[in-house]
């Protein structure tokens, strides 16, 4: 995982292990908690278990978001 920016970068090295979404605290549901260019079922299922969801636009890295469960305005 690269940490040169304030958002952790999920490297492809996590193909055979589990990225620890649980240890990342959200500052705001308006800011992604991680980014990657790689996705597999193990990462996706682990993210879902931790209330984290991938969302991005065309030609962008995958941004991982943790919505605030108490925010009913969305």
- Residue 4 pLDDT exceeds 70: no
Domain residue limits, the chain = 9-65
Residue 34 has what pLDDT? 92
Q: What are phi and psi of 16, to 5 degrees?
A: -110, 15
Could you tell me the pTM of the whole model?
A: 0.75
Alpha-carbon torsion angle 68, 33, 17, 44, nearest 10:
50
pLDDT class for 16, splitting at 50, 70, 90? low
- State in words which class domain 9-65 has: alpha beta
SS3 percent helix, strand, coil of the chain, rounded to 5, is 25, 20, 60
- Residue 9 pLDDT exceeds 80: yes
Average confidence (pLDDT) over 35-41:
88
């Amino acid at each position: 995982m690269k940490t040169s920016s304030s958002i952790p970068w999920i490297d492809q090295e996590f193909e055979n292990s589990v990225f620890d979404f649980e240890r990342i605290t959200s500052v705001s549901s308006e800011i992604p908690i991680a980014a990657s260019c790689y996705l597999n079922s193990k990462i996706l299922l682990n993210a879902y278990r931790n209330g984290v969801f991938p969302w991005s636009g065309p030609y962008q890295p995958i941004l991982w978001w943790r919505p605030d469960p108490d925010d009913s305005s969305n």
